[in-house]
Structure 1
């Protein structure tokens, strides 16, 4: 699994002009699931996201997590995180997990993260054309890859 995490002041996702999910201060998380993912990665990734210390404390240092600030997390499925450009300029997405495998893992990740945060985690709609509005705060953007934990 691969995640791109952005610290935001607010974010929302809409499908067909209807808001599907929104948060105030917190994290916007784009989640890619590969064809090799098994679900064993979910617990580790959810804990990592919930514990990321990217919010400022009273001294202006990034020492607080989304849990510490009682922030939200908006999760968006993003198969293009597994796009690669080995040949030419048109990305290949053959490393991305097929929907029948990726959807259950995506939903399980959201449930696991929700349990860790102790609150509802809004999300986009898997496979839909989505419009994401976000106000980056910082900006702070991190990439987390469960196969390269030291990335």
Structure 2
């Protein structure tokens, strides 16, 4: 069954492209600030996260016209991917700007301050950002996008 590209699909593709461009622009603007950060290694990591997540959003934007999901699920997919990608870079930026310890990086000694960060609000914020927002946002957003693309049929124009 052929499906026309809906206004919602086009709108979300546009918003996803813009968000990816903004994230890459933020990556470029954050780069020079690394020298002033207490944890320069995590500053570089945050820089790369913003760049790669921006690239991911731009690439995934081209799947929205193919995505055969209800408008509500299309919006859910969009918001999950936004939350996941933005919280990823911001969580890294919290660690870079505060040099707080984070148990998620215990296998990479020297990347973050030693300790488990118990009672440190920045450790809590960065851990929640990575575990409770980034991981499920990206995984469930990608899963919905995958299901929508699998369910798609051949495209047809709005005039057909």
TM-score, with length taken from structure 2: 0.23
Q: Which has the higher contact order (CA 8 A, sep 6+)?
A: 1
* Larger proportion of strand: 1
Structure with greater helix share of residues: 2
Greater Cα radius of gyration, structure 1 or 2: 2
Q: TM-score, normalised by structure 1?
A: 0.24
